[in-house]
Structure formats: structure tokens, C-alpha cells
Chain A
């Protein structure tokens, strides 16, 4: 059964760094790409970036200077790090698997990790 689960701190102080982990099961990170998508409270979805099965990455240019995505294939974990957090980064952060196609189609999502940026 395909599963993704995000974990990390629920509260981050302004200007600090957010670190989230996405632990996957039921598939291999050597075969599938994994995305990060976020959703501010009551708002829509924003694609943040992707780590490909090969280990390469691509980021949303709006976040590129602050964002880093990496993975540990042996542990089935994908990591997100974003620095210089501000209140507008308050959101639910999702990791999502890409369908086994070339197109960006996210066929399995984690439950989401709620992150509040506040002092």
C-alpha cells in the first residue's frame, strides 16, 4: 500500500529554518519522483519543488533561494528544508508521489504537516 507521511515541528519562529521529513512506504524513491506542495490556511495549492528518482531537483523559482529538497533512499525518506521563514509561510505542507509518467501528476499524497510561523 502506497503511503506518505510528513513529520516536523508544528511551530517555527520567524527567520528560522523549517525542516520536514516525508517517510514513504509501498514504493521506492529510486523509481518515483516526490513533490512538496503547500497550502496556506483557507487558500489554494502551491507547488514547491520536486526530487526526481535520479536525485535531481527542481524548485519553484519563487522559493528557490530558500528551499532545499533531498532524500535518503535507504530510509525511504525525503527531506525539505526552507530557511528565512516568515508568517506567510504558515501552511500545511504536503509531500506527494508522482504518477509513473513524465507529466507532473500527483497520485498519492501524505496527510500533511501543519506549520505555523510565529514568535
Chain B
């Protein structure tokens, strides 16, 4: 199975700050990478797919990028409603696997 390693595991940031979360794939997955946000007590919600494509209704302050097998999720100006846990997921091969998650908190 492809391993997805997320960092950091937790992150504390201030409102309006730029936040970056990274995900390292154990092998080449091309652009087959998605990001999900899970707010406390809620189900995950799709943010980004295909490495860079925003899901419907997702604010433009979210963006995704790739450098080799390292993928990044960037929040350009952190808002209160962005607090939660973020997961990456590779869609290159079965089984699809998730990163361990990054817990984003307000400083």
C-alpha cells in the first residue's frame, strides 16, 4: 500500500496567517491527491482533488500544489471556520490511503 506521511501532526496559527500542510507519498502518485477537512464532530469534507482543483463551494484561500512526491495544502489567510483536522488521500492505487492528519488550531 502507498504510505502518505503528513506534517506537521499539529499546528497552531493566528487568524489571517498563511498555513501550509504537507503530505509525502511513499511512491509516485502523479496528481492523484485529494485533501479533506474534518471539523470537530463532523464528517470529512472534500477540499481539493487532482492536487490543485478546488471542490465546489471551497473558498479560494485554499490551494494545493505538488513538488515531486510532496504535496502541499495552503490556506492563504486563516479564518476561524478553518479549524479542524486535514487529511490528504492518494487516489493513485487501491487501496486509497490517507495521511495521518494535521490538527489545525488557533493560536
Identify the A interface with B (CB < 8 A).
Answer: 37, 44-47, 58, 60-61, 94, 96, 99, 101, 103-112
User: Is B45 in contact with chain A by the CB < 8 A criterion?
Assistant: yes
In the assembled complex, 23 residue pairs joining A and B whose CB atoms fall closer than 8 Å, in A order, are A44-B87, A44-B99, A45-B44, A45-B87, A47-B96, A47-B98, A94-B43, A94-B44, A96-B44, A99-B46, A99-B49, A103-B50, A103-B91, A104-B94, A105-B34, A105-B50, A105-B91, A106-B44, A106-B46, A106-B89, A107-B46, A108-B46, A109-B44
Min CB gap B41→A, angstroms: 10
Residues of A close to B32: CB separation below 8 A: 103
User: Is B100 in contact with chain A by the CB < 8 A criterion?
Assistant: yes
B-side interface mostly: loop
Identify the B interface with A (CB < 8 A).
Answer: 32, 34, 36, 42-46, 49-50, 55-56, 87, 89, 91, 94-101
Residues of B close to A101: CB separation below 8 A: 49
Closest to B44 in A: A109
Closest to A45 in B: B98
Q: A104 and B98: CB pair below 8 A?
A: no
Min CB gap A43→B, angstroms: 9
A-side interface mostly: loop
Min CB gap B98→A, angstroms: 4
| Docked pose: A101 CA to B91 CA in angstroms | 11
A105 and B49 in contact, given A94-B43, A110-B43 (Cβ under 8 angstroms): yes
Most buried by A among B45, B56, B87, B91: B91
Residues of A close to B49: CB separation below 8 A: 99, 101, 103, 105, 107
Most buried by A among B36, B43, B46, B97: B43
Residues of B close to A108: CB separation below 8 A: 46
Residues of A close to B97: CB separation below 8 A: 47
